[in-house]
Amino acid sequence: MLDDMSPPPPTSRLGRYELTGRIATGGMATVYLARLEATGGFAREFALKVVHPHLAAEEGFRRRFHQEARLASRVRHPNVVATIDAGEDKGYCFLVLELIEGATLRQLVIHRERSFAAIEAAHMVAEVARGLHALHTATDERGQPLNIVHRDLSPHNVMLDQSGRAVLIDLGLAKTDTNPNMTQVGVMCGKLPYMSPEQARLESVDARSDVFALGTVLYELCTGTLPFGDTHTTATLERLQRCDAVQITEGLQRMSVPSWLVQIIVTCLRPEPE
């Protein structure tokens, strides 16, 4: 959905792509609707992710941008947004992404008056899990594991298209073993209510941290609430560190979540990686 109240794009064209509107703005980039036209009447729309100019001017953020482009190019899966192209033009760094016509999972959660049915929630999260698996098992050009960790899995970074397909988006905070400069321990990345305990402690993370975040998302879809709190506060952090399986189970049972799904969520939300 275009943000009609936003100012126009900074330029009418970046590289081969005509910018026709603004989709969304985040802390690191703005996503625009873009159109590519070619000979023979070919025309197609994409989402163009443009790094904010003041960040693109910083070498560290430029490295992050190039890493995101490189990682995204190695992942091809229907439940991960496709990266089509990347470039720099007029001082802007941009990624060209598959245009997903739909809404984020966060938007759907906000606009619903009740929690999702268990089967519906499980289906959506299963698709996200397939996308995560594609990230976690991606390899480089030599076939060596990249060991990608998303680090920012939340309903904000999952879209549902018009067919109901769940698509994992935004690899801007993803880390990989092959680039230690982008994986510093001691720097908080992501949203605290969805973090694993080790990520909140600013320790090293791996694929299991994404599994914990996936369990948090599934809990929220089934209950309409977050298991440890919805704010970036000390109280949320303390509940997250305790990660009380009994309280988690009771919260799910109060919402009549089926036992098979309770077991999946509790397993995902184990306080220590296993």
| Cβ-Cβ contacts under 8 Å for 165 (sequence gap 6 or more) | 78, 79, 127
- 246-271 as b/e, with b when 16 or more CB fall inside 10 Å? eebbebbeeeebeeebbebbbebbbe
Tell me the whole-structure pTM to 2 decimals: 0.89
Looking at per-residue confidence, does 86 or 190 come out higher?
86
In this structure, CATH architecture of domain 102-268: Orthogonal Bundle (1.10)
DSSP string, 80-133: BPPEEEEEEETTEEEEEE----EEEHHHHHHH-SSPPPHHHHHHHHHHHHHHHH
Q: Which tokens sit at 153?
A: 């899995």
Which of 152, 161, 206, 244 is flagged as catalytic? 152
**Do the domains at 13-97 and 102-268 have one common CATH topology?**
no
Q: Taking 50 as the threshold, does the pLDDT of residue 2 lie above it? A: no
Nearest to 158 by CA among 51, 94, 264, 80: 80
Q: Per-residue pLDDT averaged across 72-83, rounded?
A: 93
Q: Taking 70 as the threshold, does the pLDDT of residue 100 lie above it? A: yes
Q: Taking 60 as the threshold, does the pLDDT of residue 191 lie above it? A: yes
Helix/strand/coil for 20 = strand
Q: What is the pLDDT of residue 60?
A: 80
Q: What is the pLDDT of residue 5?
A: 39
Reported as a pLDDT band with limits 50, 70 and 90, residue 10 is low
User: For the chain, what's the residue count?
Assistant: 274
* Residue ranges covered by each domain of the chain: 13-97, 102-268
Give the span between the Cα atoms of 28 and 7, in whole angstroms: 17
Neighbouring-strand partners of residue 47: 33, 97
Give the span between the Cα atoms of 144 and 22, in whole angstroms: 38
Q: What is the DSSP letter of 11?
A: S
CB 24 within 8 A of CB 30: yes
Looking at per-residue confidence, does 60 or 267 come out higher?
267
Give the span between the Cα atoms of 93 and 261, in whole angstroms: 42
Distances from the Cα of 140 to the Cαs of 136, 178, 180, in angstroms?
A: 12, 9, 15
Task: Please state, as a whole number, how many other Cβ atoms lie within 10 Å of the Cβ of residue 57.
Answer: 12
Distances from the Cα of 40 to the Cαs of 36, 37, 43, 112, in angstroms?
A: 12, 9, 9, 44
Give the span between the Cα atoms of 155 and 14, in whole angstroms: 30
| Cβ-Cβ contacts under 8 Å for 185 (sequence gap 6 or more) | 202, 203, 204
Tens of pLDDT, residue by residue over 163-175, are 999 999 988 667 7
Give the span between the Cα atoms of 170 and 25, in whole angstroms: 12
Q: Per-residue pLDDT averaged across 263-270, rounded?
A: 96
Q: CATH assignment of 13-97, given 2.60.40.10, 3.30.930.10, 3.30.200.20, 2.60.290.11?
A: 3.30.200.20
Q: What is the pLDDT of residue 256?
A: 96
Q: What is the pLDDT of residue 186?
A: 45
152 is catalytic: yes
